[in-house]
Amino acid sequence: MSTASATSTPSPASHPPTEKAFTPLVRQFLDYLKFEKHFSDYTVKSYGADLIQFGMFLAGDIGHRPNPEVGGTAVTPDVIDDRQLKCEPLTIREFLAYLYGQNYTKSTTARKLATLRSFYKFLIRRGLLSVNPLSTIRTPKQEKRLPKCLDLEQVQKLLEAPGDGDLLSARDRAMLEVLYSSGIRVSELVELEMGDLDLQEGVLRVRGKGRKERLTPIGSQAIRALQRYFELRAIDGRGQQQQQGDSRVFLNKHGESLSTRSVRRKLDKYLVQAGLDPGISPHTLRHSFATHLLNNGADLRSVQELLGHQSLSTTQIYTHLTTQRMKDAYDAAHPRADVGTVPANTTIPHPATTNGAAPQRPFYPAKAG
């Protein structure tokens, strides 16, 4: 791990960690996530950044210094690993206090705690620890925020923004159509390979979190957008090298795989063109996909499977966005919900009034005994 002074130590947020910055135990944990749990590179990188920050805290490079007597002595990776193994709940609480002092949001703090929980569970499974120092630590209660969702008119504007007059425009139109038609994550989109597409049946094979595969249908609009993109790519010289069945579907202008960051940049461009909220993300299309399905009668379990959610509770957040559908279902199904017999503009009197008079004081019978 880097032993630069506090004045020259780069923050984890501004400089992505390099492999040499990981301690041996952290390196083992990240390899476990990547090769055994099949986590995405982005997720592994996030876990690594969180653990590097915790290691810097234990080394005294940030926050308080656990062992002031070490002074300016270099703290080696083995020493940090030893401190991680001897970590106590009090140290975790001090680390949380440091995060609070740095104005980290509750959601970010919760994510860092989740990283530490996973790391210490890994150490216990490997027989290096017997007690988890986080067993008595509670995750900060987070604010419940409803996901952003586009209405149908906004979706239409966004999907039409790229056009399909040239290769890159057709690619971008196809990307947006697939995101909204299937509800897949942007990380799943960029990993789609040619062999994952069955345009005849209108089905995608998607590799989700933990490399779990699922089949997801796509609609006719997305199929046509993909076909148009493939037609132009076949004409372009960059498409000639992508004939194997395992090649990526969406390529950049150099004929290489797109990154999730590139997809975000493209979306930002078309949001401006369409005059839509610049705060919309690719994940907003996933939220819109789920909400529109539920609004049109899809059941929650089916939406869960389409989204690739492991827990139904994760999918249930979308039910808060579908109140109108529930009201319509109530009006259509409940025998006492029919308000058609009440003339328009009729004021329904309060039950306690008589002939429009002021409310009368209700009568309560005396209690027996």
What residues act catalytically?
185, 209, 283, 286, 309, 318
Tokens of 324: 């109108």
Q: Is 73 exposed, middle or buried (0-12, 13-18, 19+ CB in 10 A)?
A: exposed
DSSP-derived 3-state class of residue 214:
strand
- Tell me the C-alpha distance between 265 and 271, whole Å: 10
Q: Quick one: which H or E segment has residue 328?
A: helix 323-333
Question: Which is nearest to 181 in space by CA: 267, 289, 270, 293?
Answer: 289
- Tell me the C-alpha distance between 329 and 150, whole Å: 22
Those residues whose C-beta lies under 8 Å from the C-beta of residue 37, and which sit 6 or more positions away, are 210
Torsion angle, alpha carbons of 127, 57, 15, 248, to 10:
30
The beta-strand segments (E) located in the chain are 197-198, 203-207, 213-217
Residue 216's beta-bridge partner residues? 204
Contacts of 71-77 spanning 24+ positions with Cβ under 8 A: 74/3, 75/1, 75/3, 76/1, 77/1, 77/22, 77/23, 77/24
